[in-house]
Amino acid sequence: MRFHNGQLLETQDVIDHFDILKKLSLYSHIERVESPSPFVIDVFLSKEDHYFDLILAESSAKILPKNASDIENIERLPVGTGPYKVAVNNEKQLILEAFDNYFGFRPLVDRVEVWVIDEAHSSLVYPSLNQPDLPINSSDTDVSLDPGCTYVSINQRSGLGQNPEWQNYFASKLSSFNLFAKLPQESIIELGLLPAWLEAGLVSCSNTAS
């Protein structure tokens, strides 16, 4: 098992971590920790605790590399052993990437992006805490809150999705414009993933509504 930075997670790392946890009140009933064999760790408690596995899932129990204090920017780019590693974390976006050396099953989604919408665009969306109701005289610049959208993702790792010709076929047959006739009349084709963002290739008229 390896950390996101490539360091090997060793048995002694876990034992040392439990020794630190014992100093916290939530884990004060940890009596001692032993390793009878290279890949086995025994934790002895001073009292019965049926929820011990649950408190080990607390953020305070996370296991970090032994040199965590020396790792630069670890608070913003934490280093763990989970299925995703933090690639980018700033004021505008959080990007998680699948960790290829994860000890379990690799995630099907390679990359997860969380974007922060700036105040200029978010202020136009209703309802909000400041403006819970739509204005009576709404202008053309008002944007109503969209409950979300549905999209189709092609698995390019296996099956027909590996073939570029099939990819083009699926893209043409399952395009939003081809499916529009089968959707309820109140549905609207989405032209972008973020407010005020449009995919220029899909826009063919001079005046478009967002």
Tell me the pLDDT tens digit for each residue of 150-176.
667 788 888 898 899 998 898 888 877
Within-domain flag for 57: yes
Within-domain flag for 171: no
Q: Band of the pLDDT at 202, cuts 50, 70, 90?
A: very low
17: containing domain: 11-69
Task: Look up residue 190 and give its two tokens.
Answer: 């989405």
Distance, in Å, from the CA atom of 47 to the CA atom of 50, rounded to the nearest integer, reads: 10
The structural domain count of the chain equals 1
Closest Cα partner for 149 from 191, 204, 114, 107? 191
Q: Band of the pLDDT at 145, cuts 50, 70, 90?
A: low
Burial of 171 from C-beta contacts in 10 A (0-12 / 13-18 / 19+): exposed
Within-domain flag for 41: yes
Within-domain flag for 142: no
Within-domain flag for 30: yes
Within-domain flag for 21: yes
Strands (E), the chain: 30-37, 40-45, 84-89, 93-98, 111-115, 125-126, 143-144
Is 200 or 144 the better-scoring residue by pLDDT? 144
Please indicate, yes or no, whether the overall pTM of this predicted structure exceeds 0.85: no
Within-domain flag for 103: no
Give the rounded distance of the alpha carbon of 83 from its chain centre: 10
Within-domain flag for 140: no
> Which helix or strand (DSSP H or E) is residue 12 part of?
helix 11-21
Closest Cα partner for 170 from 183, 153, 182, 158? 153
